[in-house]
Amino acid sequence: DARVTQTPRDKVTEMGQEVTMRCQPILGHNTVFWYRQTMMQGLELLAYFRNRAPLDDSGMPKDRFSAEMPDATLATLKIQPSEPRDSAVYFCASGFAGTAYTTGELFFGEGSRLTVL
């Protein structure tokens, strides 16, 4: 089964530490999204990429968050320095966009649960 893979599944860290979350999108997908969810609330879009280029990262706190796609099989989300308010579940999702104005079916990874003490 093709799936979106995220690591780590769980991360506990102390305030001020750097945190890196990784995502392997489904092979062949060209669009990757990062979402954040707190306490089973709605999904907050942080950033997304198409063909490895960042399209929108306006949802991300720029001073401490950064998102990259070093290659087509890896997307990373980094927090430096981390703060307790960053505690949440971070989801990666991927899809295939055939044109500039369409986005195909979206598939989610299982999420990375981050706890910052």
Interacting residues with another protein (CB under 8 A): 33, 40, 42-43, 45, 48, 50, 55-56, 89, 91, 93, 97, 99-108, 110-111, 113
Please report the DSSP string for 28-44 in residue order.
T--EEEEEEE-TT-PPE
Closest to 49 measured CA to CA, from 76, 17, 27, 22: 76
Report the residue number, 15 or 55, with the smaller CB distance to another protein: 55
Q: Find the shortest distance in angstroms from Cβ 93 to another protein.
A: 8
Report the residue number, 74 or 97, with the smaller CB distance to another protein: 97
Report the residue number, 41 or 70, with the smaller CB distance to another protein: 41
Measured CA to CA, the distance from residue 58 to residue 17 in angstroms comes to 23
Measured CA to CA, the distance from residue 71 to residue 45 in angstroms comes to 21
Q: Find the shortest distance in angstroms from Cβ 4 to another protein.
A: 10
Measured CA to CA, the distance from residue 89 to residue 40 in angstroms comes to 9
Q: Find the shortest distance in angstroms from Cβ 79 to another protein.
A: 20
